[in-house]
Structure 1
């Protein structure tokens, strides 16, 4: 596997990787869909063929994390299983089944003077990924970048070093076997923060950076990078149970949103309940959450229930990534909207209601990358929305917002064709 050695953690070393990526990416940008899809299929099969090797490497990372006292939620994000490897492979196959975005005509027309104008999707070139914990991101990012014609430099966290190294080696071998330059997928070592700084300063060598992880990582990359950044965000996601909600549906959605996989960014962290439901639904949902192992942090009304921990002001802004949930009673939809406005991270917000007027108002007034009506926040996911996989969930408002699939990993260029036209 071609990558930096531990002694090559200088900016020169990262630039060397970027130079190789740029050269490999030129060939990838010209590859047809059949070639790219064959590579994705080979990558998917390689994950399954080498499952035991990958799981053994991951077990080493998990052991180190547990011995180091890493919180259970982070360990869960780090852990691979046969099922999770199968899901990674299926994600690559799903991406292979999607249309190739490269060369798609975004818009086009014949101008009044006879010039033919087309705006086409084109690859960025070299994409840098800086991410924490989750080794599945390694495969997702490699696959999405390859299909969208981009070379990728993957810089995972030291906590997943063994897993990521094993995955990248397997993927590179598969890419090479499919006839593409394996340098379209490269790993940047995680043994020094200097490699992160070098990537953030590699303007002109790396075309775009995508940070994916905790608030500290994302803020650091956004604030310090000279390379353009697509900002992904933390998920302080809310579920508002309106006075007109179907309470049986609401109970199922709240439990799914919180407990299906609490360690991920689209898990719900705060539950808002309309005051008209405080006497009936609030005790029911709190009890169900507690039975599922959730520690409830409640406002004054909720804290009056057995076993509820009084919430602090910090709770309303916390992305727990664990079996914890903040719960508050609001007097109206206005109260819910105000709470979301003050505390949302702009990721995903959900309303549960049978009142279409309330749903329309919530959708119109909430400022978030995704707004769900009568559905779990867990659906804010590229795979669930039919994108095959995702490279991250953008909470910014420029270029890409929400789950980023293949189109979001392209830029555009204009092709204007004339016949000796002069202005």
Structure 2
């Protein structure tokens, strides 16, 4: 009996010890699990906090970027009493602009591979109507209207050649579909600086940054290649009368050639006509008046000059210097001459200076018209507007200074007139100019 009791007691002790050991193991597992869960929870919390922090940083940076873009946009909004409109539509930097011969449309080209045709009829309204043309696989550096306003001549940026696009017509007379017609063969080794077309449609000109000037027929065949001998060309264009091509460059002169044709309309030759001499340094740019009797030039020497080119160069006559104006800014500039030859506009970097061609005095300075440099400058054919492109925008100004200069010039001519009929004719022109000026001033106010 005693042995049985001892056996039971021994088994009970083993069971109790086993139970206690199991409990201890279970407690250990529970404690370890809680610590692991706690550690995992802390890790998860840290990860979540990092993700939230990153999101907050992204949101903050996006907000800052939007604020900076908004500030830049506000800064680029130019305001001036003479500003008629700011044309917006391009997504890239505008490289060139050109008014149609009838003044109804303004063509602009940018590095976004798009050409926009702007309607100038109601340019002073808030909404500005434009027609879009795409330049496939390239972009246009320069753009010019054909004399009949039915085509656009462009120079391509990548292909570095000349191309022609037909401009269709809608039922209401507005521009329709613009389609590619012809691409000229590659001729220039250096980048094309400018192009032009004669008002009679006899030829197209292209000039590049080396010393090459090419004259083409409308089929894309080279009629003549001229070596300007100016070390490097800076600019070149066709005169509005369609007789001349001209170039400026590193040398301190503007060289003018006549493109000659026979009476039957066949190409004959390109011969030297005359030069504009007097600057002491290279000439950045030059421009013709609408009748090609006057030219304006701007040079690295810090001056601009207005010339009378209504000469008989075949008899050895040289252009007459009319005015010399001071221009202190030495950076590359573009220049525009009003159709009547009385007003000179010069752009450099972000400013546009407007001068009186008769006196050489500054009429007005449009400061910081944009955050980007001015790329092109041109008066409308009727002389009413001055268009300046910069960045993605085109600013169109009332040419108030031009009408003021015209009135002063006409008044002086009236005083010097010898006959009553001439004085009466000049008085009519003065009254017309005053009427237009008054309308522009009312718009500006």
Query: Does TM-score exceed 0.5, indicating one fold?
Result: no
Larger Rg over CA atoms: 2
Structure with the higher fraction of residues in strand conformation: 2
State the TM-score, normalized to the length of structure 2.
0.25
More helix by proportion, 1 or 2?
A: 1
Structure of higher RCO (CA pairs closer than 8 Å, 6+ residues apart): 1
